[in-house]
Structure 1
Amino acid sequence: MPDTTNGTGRHRLLPLLNNGHGGRSAMTCMYRCADQCAHPAPNTSDNEYFGDMVQKAISRRGLLGGAAAALVVGTGAVAGPAAATTRTTAPVATAGRRPPAGDELRIDAPEYGRPIGFQAVTGNTVDSVVVPNGYDWSVTMSWGDPVEQGAPDFDFDNQSVEAQQGQFGYNCDFVAVLPLDRNLNRALLCVNHEYTNENLMFHGWTDAESATEEQLRIAMAAHGFSVVEIERVGDTGEWRPTKRRRNNRRLHTWSEFKLVGPAAGSDLLKTSDDPSGTTVLGTLNNCAGGVTPWGTILSGEENFHQYFGATDDITDATTRERFGRYGIRTSPGTRRGWERVEDRFDVASEPNEPNRYGWVVEIDPYDRTSTPRKLTALGRFKHEGATVTIARDGRVVAYMGDDERFDYIYKFVSKKKYKPGNNKRHRDHNKTLLEDGDLYVARFTGNSPEFPDSPPDDGLFDGTGEWLPLIEDGESKVDGMSVEEVLVFTRLAADKVGPTKMDRPEDIEPHPITGTVYVALTNNNRRTPAEVDEANPRPDNRFGHVISIDEDNGDAAATSFTWSIVILCGDPEDPETYYDGFDKSQVSMISCPDNVAFDPAGRLWLATDGMPGSAGVHDGMFVMPIEGDDKGHLRRFSSVPAGAECCGPTITPDGRTALMAIQHPGELSGATTENRMSTFPYGNQPRPSVVTVWRKTPGNDRPFIGD
């Protein structure tokens, strides 16, 4: 049985936390999001839903203590496969041609519902990747490794802008593997690079004000996206980069992106350098993402606010309101200092430049000459990512979370329909699907009207919900706002229609078989007892939770749904926690769920961002069955090095390999290049990396991840 005390004998983790961000270090908060959790939440709306739902302040014990401690949080039941959901085959491509429509991967995948068999990894503070007995891991790519043809090998002490533009970027987050052949022996590794930590990149770094322009531009080049051709090592589950790089690509802060959709060309998106309002340089703070059925990558621009500064105070009231809702500074100075080297990051000079970030970006990794596109139809906010499924009538549905305290969950439904097959004509059509459609935001309603004054009278944290329209049939559904304004200032538009303020909605993934949508809500230590509701039932929610959504009639395009809480994270011995009804004495403790994935056997995988390291628990990757006798038996599959976050993750279509991004190793308060808090992965300066995990086996047996 996993040791939930992690050898300390202490189960109540709340007193062990020393900051307001779960287990995340102050340094991570500073560099990733400019300490957004330390500031008042940008969402100051008092929408109708909260006014109706929450009338009285209640004590924390009154909410979940006493009789409420025995509540069953949610059934987590899974119905039969949803008729509305199409399980798509991963797209394939071979050198020099596209395969004909209908081609499928020739692989042996694990059967659906396969049980878990590994021994859970116990909590630890090892400065390395730790995986279960019988598994192995290796580094696939690290910060600075060559990507583009002609890029040099990494030299920490001799970095340059030119070199970094062709090398693997810094803090890797989203990870995807797209096949290059039908046997899945060659593939494209697709990775986001979210942000940089200059304290760990450069010797003697103090701040942006004293940095050289070269250092600032190296950091700018280390953002973006990488596409790397990889190959299987023999007949194992291990992957490594190929020696040839003809499919490789690096996108960075100076790469060209095209704005598409209803807001493209809007006056709100025009700048001095781009009077057309259609061409943007770079993509910033790319967090999670998704893979479309037609083989493109969706990458979410998240905490873009921190890259913009002002050389003079912004006094215009409308501009201040719009900037304030996104956390953009209206007075001089940023920690990044990019406005020192490029005027476009100075909002006093270019007030529209921030409006050109905060989008979902679509990238075609199979065509390195293609121009990536920013999809204005999906709205602008701090996108964690976007994941796609197919509705019953063939339209495409994208689910999205706005990763900030008290912000919202969104859904986009395309106007046009998906055409199956990988032939060029169908693929070209499908690449236009996310340019036009309807945009919605979610309102959750609990089934117990007396909550939170008394426990839910049905014994469940569950209920119904509706998707509130922001854009529908090409028209704005928000009073006083045009279509362009709704899409560029989506947060302000959503405030007006009364959705539910959530506890940092991050990755959102529809199950590929059942169609049930799983939402990771990372945490929210600012929610007061007066602000709880059934969908966010804990004040001071430092540990986060996971919600499942079932669209009405199993149709992803429906405008109403039912929901239930699947996991209330935290110490399993805490009566306020819940693990999908499973015996909590047997589960691994999880906190701050961030990324969501599914393996071919249908099991739910979660990666964490903020496990309480002071309690002897590093972040890692977890897996949990969602049906059967083992439903809710969550187990820790891996842990990551000191100061690191586990990102990604992804399981290859054959189920033989798990890949995860080791983001910001050694990012702990006081760390510098001279005072290293981690030496992952090579025993010297810490380098963010993507690692491959596979199960070791003799001979030609092909076991699967999680067995």
Structure 2
Amino acid sequence: MPDSAPRRSLPIIGQAGGGRSRATCRLRCGDACFHEAPNTSANPYFGDIFSAMVSRRNALRAGAVGAGATAGFAALGGLAAPASAKPGKGWGNPRLRFEGLPPGHSDAVEVPEGYEQEVVISWGDPVLPDAPEFDFDNQTPEAQAKQFGYNCDYVGFLPLDRGHGHGYGHGKGRGRGHRPKRALLYVNHEYTNENLMFRGYSDDTATEEQMRTAIEAHGGSVVEIERVGRSGRWKVAGGERRFNRRITGTTPFELTGPAAGDELLRTEADPSGTEVLGMLNNCSGGTTPWGTFLSGEENFNQYFVNADSAPEDVREKLARYGMRGGEEGRRWNRVDERFDLSKNPNEANRFGWVVEIDPTDPDAKPRKRTMLGRFKHEAANPRITEDGRVAVYMGDDERFDYMYKFVSTKRVRWGSARHNATLLDSGTLYVAKLSGNSPAEEFDGSGELPSDGAFDGVGEWMALCTDTESFVEGMSVAEVLVYTRIAADKAGATKMDRPEDFEPNPVTGKVYCALTNNSAREPGQADEPNPRGPNKHGHILEITEAGNDSGATEFTWDVPIVCGDPDDESTYFAGFDKSKVASISSPDNLTFDEHGNLWISTDGQGKLEINDALHAVPMHGKYKGELKTFATVPVGAECCGPLITEDQKTVFIAPQHPGDGGTAEDPQSTWPYGDFPRPSVVSIWHSRGKDIGS
């Protein structure tokens, strides 16, 4: 499918909230930025470094073990093993060897000189064998349930021709020399924009068929793809494609873990509290070492109505998750009353989880893993601990909310599908508390560096519960997992500026979190981990856990990048010369290449009056902080993904909601085919077969 959109320059659509259009704010997150932040706890914005940093309930802390314990777990499937004492490959002075792009304004995907790009798959393209061809003016829920869904966020990639399934990541066939020919592409379909999907759409007059079509357009897709020759270009595979699958807003899911079956998850339709229909607003995710995909349900609150008419004893809990008011928004309750909280208040508790999907078994129920807590999950990225367990890092994408980590009780067992399917159901759920090492009065919201020249400090992962014991007074294990935000409030977690994606560095072992923005943070609420108020453009947090072990409960941290226009005095790029770096705003999704360069996709650069983009920046060595723009996306689109294949030959991005702010009658974008906007996945490769970025 060639990118045939005319390369015309279109005006930037008026921005609102976090830099998106008002339409995206309403449809993606229910106008979260225009309401009071749900976190009204009295948790301090700044902790004194001299306060006691005593771990709570740290009996399960990983013990110190020799480096040999991780020898089989190195950088598997996009994961990072803990860094060893000796620098690994790529440790020296990595530098990005492409000429950075200027800020984007066109209605196209732009890439550097020497690179090529092409659409792999778009909204409406057939996924299942009996799917009809896409017909914009004759959409049905039955057709959409078999076609690629609307919008595309997280992109996962699983090679098929080196042995697939639950042994993924055990090291067999793994290496730079391996160049897969076929793979499974997994994509989240985060949310729908009905104004761009249907002509003449209105919430007040929406038909039952339009609403049911939108429900089926949510979820995710598993699509078999194949390499074109020996290049880094990929296309939808021909042939049987037996793994292809559509997961939608009505697909049956299994609830697992300690909260499954609890009365808080039971409804009249499901008195067992163990089966849910659909997943909603799935944003980013991660790939497990055993070859499954993790997908985070994010702004699920916006799909429910009549919170103010719910039973009085649950209204405060609903409000903590952003559910207030009467019947407004999508009003799917007109076709399915489970979205009406006055009738089904527990239905909301069945969303906001991390979902695990086995892409090699199209008939298996996806599982909502309650042990990983319930909040607005942006992502869930795993990493192996020193002693072979799995840690999963998670951010709650809300202003003033928290960072979380789960560590399993059991160890990964390579090749054992049955065993590995239980890993995410038992362990410990933690929330982060950070303390700075500079006086609080040095932070006035301006973003100026403190007198010691760095935003840095220490932190701890505070245990909220295990699968058998709660550490939060007055809350059971099930209550901690269903009302995780409330448990974290009580634990005194640190309020952050919309923590989104986490990603471990395969070279240094450090872990990075994208803090997207927070314009609601007042100057007096600035602190060392969140040094600007208001924070319009976001920043990057770097975490170094004790012993570089993901099982540790103590860490140090620093802020290497404070985003924005480099000409703005409040920005910071790890001390690199700011006259030589690109502008960046609202960091969202992260990935790494094998040299330890951080790749950052953005969601909200409209505040800088430029299109969203994919940027890259070295995170160690003398070029640390030299941020360059690698790709820009069409007008109104957010740059999602990104994913670099392990052979380093392809980077996938997923531009979603192109033409944001327009309508089907008046599209603000015609990408990618020159007619109406279609969210799509794009592959980018070097025309001479070189590694991405090198």
Distance of aligned partners of 1:139 and 1:112 in 2 relative to their CA distance in 1, 3 Å threshold: farther
Does 1:684 find its partner at 2:690? no
8 Å CA contact 1:518, 1:549 repeated in 2? yes
Does 1:185 find its partner at 2:181? yes
Provide the residue aligned with 1:258 in structure 2: 254
Q: How does 1:424-463 map to 2 (within 5 A)?
A: 426-452=416-442, 456-463=450-457
Provide the residue aligned with 2:530 in structure 1: 536
**Deviation, structure 1 residue 313:** 4.2
Q: Deviations over 1:292-319 (max 9, x none)?
A: 0000000000000011112x84264321
Q: Secondary structure at the match of 1:156?
A: coil
8 Å CA contact 1:447, 1:456 repeated in 2? no
Provide the residue aligned with 2:245 in structure 1: 249
Provide the residue aligned with 2:644 in structure 1: 651
Provide the residue aligned with 2:107 in structure 1: 127
Does 1:704 find its partner at 2:676? no
Residues of 1 paired with 2:310 and 2:138: CA distance?
43
Provide the residue aligned with 2:634 in structure 1: 641
Structure 2, unaligned runs of 5 or more: 1-11, 50-66, 79-88, 163-178
Q: 1:324 aligns with which of 300, 308, 319?
A: 319
Distance of aligned partners of 1:444 and 1:299 in 2 relative to their CA distance in 1, 3 Å threshold: same
Q: Secondary structure at the match of 1:415?
A: strand
Residues of 1 paired with 2:584 and 2:526: CA distance?
21
Which amino acid in the other structure matches residue 144 of structure 1?
G
Provide the residue aligned with 1:61 in structure 2: none
**Deviation, structure 1 residue 427:** 2.8
Residues of 1 paired with 2:120 and 2:451: CA distance?
51
Q: How does 1:506-517 map to 2 (within 5 A)?
A: 506-517=500-511
Provide the residue aligned with 2:129 in structure 1: 149
Q: Secondary structure at the match of 1:218?
A: helix
Provide the residue aligned with 2:625 in structure 1: 632
Structure 1, unaligned runs of 5 or more: 1-15, 54-80, 92-109
Distance of aligned partners of 1:84 and 1:536 in 2 relative to their CA distance in 1, 3 Å threshold: farther
Q: Secondary structure at the match of 1:158?
A: coil
Q: 2:353 aligns with which of 359, 377, 396?
A: 359
**Deviation, structure 1 residue 641:** 0.3
Does 1:29 find its partner at 2:11? no
Distance of aligned partners of 1:155 and 1:575 in 2 relative to their CA distance in 1, 3 Å threshold: same
Does 1:238 find its partner at 2:233? yes
Which amino acid in the other structure matches residue 237 of structure 2?
T
Q: How does 1:199-238 map to 2 (within 5 A)?
A: 199-207=195-203, 209-238=204-233
**Deviation, structure 1 residue 459:** 2.0
8 Å CA contact 1:519, 1:546 repeated in 2? yes
Q: Secondary structure at the match of 2:259?
A: coil
Which amino acid in the other structure matches residue 633 of structure 1?
E
8 Å CA contact 2:45, 2:527 repeated in 1? no
Does 1:558 find its partner at 2:552? yes
8 Å CA contact 2:45, 2:495 repeated in 1? no
Residues of 1 paired with 2:479 and 2:354: CA distance?
17
8 Å CA contact 2:216, 2:248 repeated in 1? yes
Q: Which moved more, 1:29-38 or 1:239-248?
A: 239-248
**Deviation, structure 1 residue 22:** 3.7
8 Å CA contact 2:311, 2:342 repeated in 1? no
Residues of 1 paired with 2:637 and 2:304: CA distance?
26
Aligned CA RMSD, in angstroms, stands at 2.0
Which amino acid in the other structure matches residue 411 of structure 1?
K
Q: How does 1:47-446 map to 2 (within 5 A)?
A: 47-48=43-44, 50=46, 86-90=73-77, 114-182=94-162, 183-207=179-203, 209-244=204-239, 245-310=241-306, 313-314=308-309, 316-329=311-324, 331-419=325-413, 421=414, 423=415, 426-446=416-436
Q: Secondary structure at the match of 2:616?
A: strand
Distance of aligned partners of 1:328 and 1:472 in 2 relative to their CA distance in 1, 3 Å threshold: same
Q: Deviations over 1:419-470 (max 9, x none)?
A: 2x3x3xx232112110111011001100013443686342211000011110
Provide the residue aligned with 1:6 in structure 2: none
- TM-score normalized with structure 1 length: 0.87
Q: 1:664 aligns with which of 649, 657, 660?
A: 657
Provide the residue aligned with 2:7 in structure 1: none
- TM-score normalized with structure 2 length: 0.88
Residues of 1 paired with 2:351 and 2:385: CA distance?
28
Q: How does 1:450-489 map to 2 (within 5 A)?
A: 450-452=440-442, 456-472=450-466, 474-489=468-483
Residues of 2 paired with 1:496 and 1:666: CA distance?
42
Q: Secondary structure at the match of 2:442?
A: coil
Which amino acid in the other structure matches residue 383 of structure 2?
T
Q: Which moved more, 1:581-590 or 1:194-203?
A: 581-590
8 Å CA contact 1:49, 1:498 repeated in 2? no
**Deviation, structure 1 residue 51:** 8.3
Residues of 2 paired with 1:629 and 1:440: CA distance?
35
Q: Deviations over 1:186-226 (max 9, x none)?
A: 0000000000000000001122x310000000000000010
Residues of 2 paired with 1:468 and 1:33: CA distance?
28
Q: Deviations over 1:80-114 (max 9, x none)?
A: x99869424339xxxxxxxxxxxxxxxxxx96665
**Deviation, structure 1 residue 600:** 2.3
**Deviation, structure 1 residue 673:** 0.8
Distance of aligned partners of 1:160 and 1:453 in 2 relative to their CA distance in 1, 3 Å threshold: closer
Which amino acid in the other structure matches residue 156 of structure 2?
A
Distance of aligned partners of 1:89 and 1:499 in 2 relative to their CA distance in 1, 3 Å threshold: closer
Residues of 2 paired with 1:304 and 1:500: CA distance?
23
8 Å CA contact 2:156, 2:187 repeated in 1? yes
Residues of 1 paired with 2:46 and 2:227: CA distance?
52
**Deviation, structure 1 residue 630:** 1.6
8 Å CA contact 1:84, 1:554 repeated in 2? no
Residues of 1 paired with 2:642 and 2:186: CA distance?
12
Q: Deviations over 1:480-525 (max 9, x none)?
A: 1110000000001100011110000000111123221100000000
**Deviation, structure 1 residue 159:** 0.8
Q: 1:38 aligns with which of 16, 34, 37?
A: 34
Which amino acid in the other structure matches residue 629 of structure 1?
K
Q: Which moved more, 1:179-188 or 1:397-406?
A: 179-188
Q: Deviations over 1:54-87 (max 9, x none)?
A: xxxxxxxxxxxxxxxxxxxxxxxxxxx9986942
Which amino acid in the other structure matches residue 679 of structure 2?
P
Q: Secondary structure at the match of 1:543?
A: coil
Residues of 1 paired with 2:655 and 2:16: CA distance?
23
Residues of 1 paired with 2:216 and 2:397: CA distance?
24
8 Å CA contact 1:175, 1:659 repeated in 2? yes
Residues of 1 paired with 2:671 and 2:183: CA distance?
26
Which amino acid in the other structure matches residue 536 of structure 2?
R
Q: Deviations over 1:356-375 (max 9, x none)?
A: 00000000001111111000
Which amino acid in the other structure matches residue 661 of structure 1?
A
Distance of aligned partners of 1:685 and 1:49 in 2 relative to their CA distance in 1, 3 Å threshold: closer
Residues of 2 paired with 1:572 and 1:219: CA distance?
40
Residues of 1 paired with 2:75 and 2:440: CA distance?
43
**Deviation, structure 1 residue 328:** 1.4
Q: Deviations over 1:300-346 (max 9, x none)?
A: 00000011112x842643211110000113x4313111100011111
Which amino acid in the other structure matches residue 172 of structure 1?
C
Which amino acid in the other structure matches residue 249 of structure 1?
R
Distance of aligned partners of 1:126 and 1:315 in 2 relative to their CA distance in 1, 3 Å threshold: closer
**Deviation, structure 1 residue 49:** 5.8
Provide the residue aligned with 2:175 in structure 1: none
Provide the residue aligned with 1:5 in structure 2: none
8 Å CA contact 1:21, 1:542 repeated in 2? no
Residues of 1 paired with 2:381 and 2:557: CA distance?
18
